[in-house]
Amino acid sequence: MDDNITDRITASFSAQTMMHTIGAELSEVSNGLVRITCPILEGTRQHQGFGHAGLTFSIGDSAAGYAALTMLPLDMEVVTAEIKLNLLAPARGDRLIATGRVIKAGKRLSVVTAEVHAEKDGVQTLIAILQGTMVPVPR
Amino acid sequence: MDDNITDRITASFSAQTMMHTIGAELSEVSNGLVRITCPILEGTRQHQGFGHAGLTFSIGDSAAGYAALTMLPLDMEVVTAEIKLNLLAPARGDRLIATGRVIKAGKRLSVVTAEVHAEKDGVQTLIAILQGTMVPVPR
Amino acid sequence: MDDNITDRITASFSAQTMMHTIGAELSEVSNGLVRITCPILEGTRQHQGFGHAGLTFSIGDSAAGYAALTMLPLDMEVVTAEIKLNLLAPARGDRLIATGRVIKAGKRLSVVTAEVHAEKDGVQTLIAILQGTMVPVPR
Amino acid sequence: MDDNITDRITASFSAQTMMHTIGAELSEVSNGLVRITCPILEGTRQHQGFGHAGLTFSIGDSAAGYAALTMLPLDMEVVTAEIKLNLLAPARGDRLIATGRVIKAGKRLSVVTAEVHAEKDGVQTLIAILQGTMVPVPR
């Protein structure tokens, strides 16, 4: 990976205050793949005590968006045009891990997916899959 | 509206710690329609300083889910099976307003939509639309 | 409606051989709204004898796409970037009616929705809702 | 694969008249995976002469649905609750190949994906990805 690309993504990630609020960390940046992890904090739960769908969405969407950004010129940013989430299991455990991937990079649109796993005692369970579209925009 | 239904939704909403974290409030509960509002806090922004897509998603998803719950027996809860979000404009302004509606209520699945508006100086702009499926589950 | 816009859409619709195959007709073109109807032919059914989801999709997607096209300059076409369909009821009856609407028209992307109704003995039932993104492209 | 499962899927596929109309064939049935192929007929095109999105959808949706059915008891059928399609490239070439996969099989809901490739002169290009939900129903 070009260090400039990693630096750009790290800087953009740090500027997202939502990522701080939910305790998220950027744990991997490679070409067309970005991984974000977060704990399931006391303050990010739904009514049954599991992680909120909004938590799962937030890291899944961000991982997918940054995956798209790894394949774009350095003077670009991305915004989410649309994204869809299917939930497979409750977000329960020690932490969540979102892995975003680029399916097709484009100048006008990039199509992306993400998987979100919940990890409990070292065992990972797939809890959500996402499929969406990112739009490159000038920084 | 049956007071019991409103009470149940208020209780469920209060149990969602994510709603507290993002400053969300339940502002309307009627038959097949629920409205949730929230500010755009310092801690819920994306890299450009606008409200994070995860914020828009969180209140849109919750409004849609509770709209489905207004049409279910009192001993049921709902969970999101899947939901899709199209973003139309940045989440900028004083607050966000999510309005969830039931398109079809069912025993096995309820199909729902939500609109999210951003309000600035009293003017509302539609910033997102959502379409999804809620699954009734026993409480 | 500008006659040129209606003519362009009629011409584009006629060029879609899929529309002929399924017996579809363009029944209304107005600003930001297009309606397409079709019978449920012997040859467009699923295994239970109802209209195939691909039939519902085909007219819903086309109605949504042409709705977007009503709001674009005459030298543009649209292609579907993505679209999602929730099915509410079986496609049973005499004919299907898809109504596409523009939620937000844009130079880069237009966000659209469609509803599909099945009509039986003059009574219409909502059987599907769609939400998607159309991309303007030069003709 | 249990022959009964394959037989059931072959029988259900044959009952879908839409599959005959578009020239589709069931080319692979294995546990959690179904593949359907079709030509791009003169009668299944869009306005630019490529395969219609409704064609791509029809085989993608059917492949995903039958993939879900491979993992259900023999007395069940599936219907599509919802499905989303992202289009990556025009459907051009000699034939389309849809591969449906089960991500999570469930008694109430199965989450599925599909990829659709276009093949031209033996070279396959990914033209669409789908993500959806199938509902098991008694036959």
Q: What is the pLDDT of residue A139?
A: 83
Range of the domain at B63: 3-138
Asked if residue B97 lies in contact with residue D97, where contact means CB atoms within 8 angstroms, the answer is no
pLDDT for the residue A1: 67
Answer whether C135 sits within 8 Å of A108, measured CB to CB: yes
Task: Check A135 against C108: CB less than 8 A apart.
Answer: yes
**pLDDT of the residue at D139:** 83
- State the average pLDDT over residues C36-46: 97
- Quick one: closest CA in C to B102, which residue? C88
pLDDT at residue D52 greater than cutoff 80: yes
Neighbouring residues of B82: CB distance < 8 A, sequence distance ≥ 6: A84, A85, A86, A87, B132, B133, D82, D111, D133
Q: What CATH number has the domain bearing residue C43? A: 3.10.129.10
Instruction: From D33, D103, D37, select the one nearest D70 (Cα to Cα).
Output: D33
Which pLDDT score is estimated for C1?
66
Structural element, H or E, at residue C123: strand C123-138
Task: List residues in chain C touching A: CB distance below 8 A.
Answer: 81-82, 84, 108-109, 111, 133, 135
**D82 and B133: CB-CB below 8 Å?**
yes
Give the residue from chain A lying closest to D127, CA to CA: A104
Bridge partner residues of A75 (DSSP): none
Write down which chains contact chain C via at least 3 CB pairs under 8 A: A, B, D
Residues of D with CB under 8 A from a CB of C: 12-13, 15-18, 20-22, 42-48, 52-55, 57-58, 61-62, 77, 79-87
The 10s digit of each residue's pLDDT in B90-132 is 999 999 999 999 999 998 999 999 999 999 999 999 999 999 9
Cα separation, C33 vs A137, whole angstroms: 29
Tell me what ipTM this predicted complex has.
0.96
Residues D91-104 pLDDT 10s: 999 999 999 999 99
**pLDDT < 50 positions in chain A:** none
| Shortest CA distance from A108: residue in chain C | C108
pTM: 0.97
pLDDT in tens, D53-75: 999 999 999 999 999 999 999 88
Q: Is the pLDDT of residue B17 over 90?
A: yes
Percent of residues, chain D, with pLDDT higher than 70 = 99
Count of the separate structural domains present in chain A: 1
> Per-residue pLDDT tens for B67-77?
999 999 988 99
Query: What value does the mean pLDDT of chain B take?
Result: 96
> Which residues of chain A lie closer than 8 angstroms to B84, CB-CB?
82-85
Residues of chain B in contact with residue C88, where contact means CB-CB under 8 angstroms, are 103-104, 111
B1: confidence class by pLDDT, cuts 50, 70, 90 = low
CA–CA separation, A115 vs D117, rounded Å? Answer: 22
The pLDDT assigned to D135 comes to 97
Confidence of residue B5 (pLDDT cuts 50, 70, 90): confident
pLDDT band at C106 (very low <50, low <70, confident <90, very high): very high
Q: Is the pLDDT of residue B2 over 90?
A: no
Neighbours of B126 (CB within 10 A): 14
> Could you report the per-residue pLDDT of C58-97, keeping only the tens digit for each?
999 999 999 999 999 988 999 999 999 999 999 999 999 9
Residue A4 C-alpha, separation from nearest chain B C-alpha, in angstroms = 17
Average pLDDT over residues B32-41: 98
Cβ A21–B43 below 8 Å, yes or no?
yes
- Predicted confidence band of residue D1 (pLDDT cuts 50, 70, 90): low
Among A88, A103, A113, select the one facing D104 at the smallest CB separation: A88
Report the alpha-carbon distance of residue D68 to residue D32 in Å, rounded.
Answer: 6
Q: How far apart are CA A17 and CA B45, in angstroms?
A: 5
